[in-house]
Amino acid sequence: MCGKGACNCAVSSVCAYVVPPLGVYWRFGCGMEFFICLILTMLGFVPGLVYACVMIGCEAPMRGIDFEDNAADGAVPADVVGAKVAQIEMV
């Protein structure tokens, strides 16, 4: 759960088709995305499904990613790391 990768995306997509909040939970964990999807699914299956598909297809999970390690590997540009560190320090 809460990761990046093709397998994680595929499993969360299948789960989202059956139960949209489950797919969002699998991809992002129990956060704001999950609760928005849960509320939309309670209002109707289609709005929850559309939201889940958009979130899983377009949004990369940011939790659990260590920006400094990924920047050293070249996976995350250095300016993104600097912006995230500055944002964290401001909070």
If asked whether residues 51 and 73 sit together in one domain, one would say no
Counted domains in the chain: 2
- Structural domain for 84, as ranges: 63-91
Specify whether 25 is located in the same domain as 49.
yes
| Residue whose token pair is 């909070």 | 91
Q: Is residue 52 part of a domain?
A: yes
**pLDDT reported for residue 26:** 85
pTM beyond 0.75: no
pLDDT at 60 over 50: yes
Query: What percent of the chain is predicted at pLDDT more than 90?
Result: 23
Alpha carbons within 13 angstroms on the beta-carbon side of residue 46 total 0
Judge whether residue 42 has pLDDT over 90: yes
Specify the pLDDT at position 43.
Answer: 94
Residue 12 lies in a domain: yes
Q: Answer yes or no: is 1 within a domain.
A: no
In DSSP notation, 2-20 reads ---SHHHHHHHHHHHHHSH
Tell me the pLDDT tens digit for each residue of 66-81: 545 554 555 555 554 4
Whether residues 54 and 74 fall in one domain: no
Residues 42 and 79 in one domain: no
Residue 81 pLDDT: 47
Length of the chain: 91
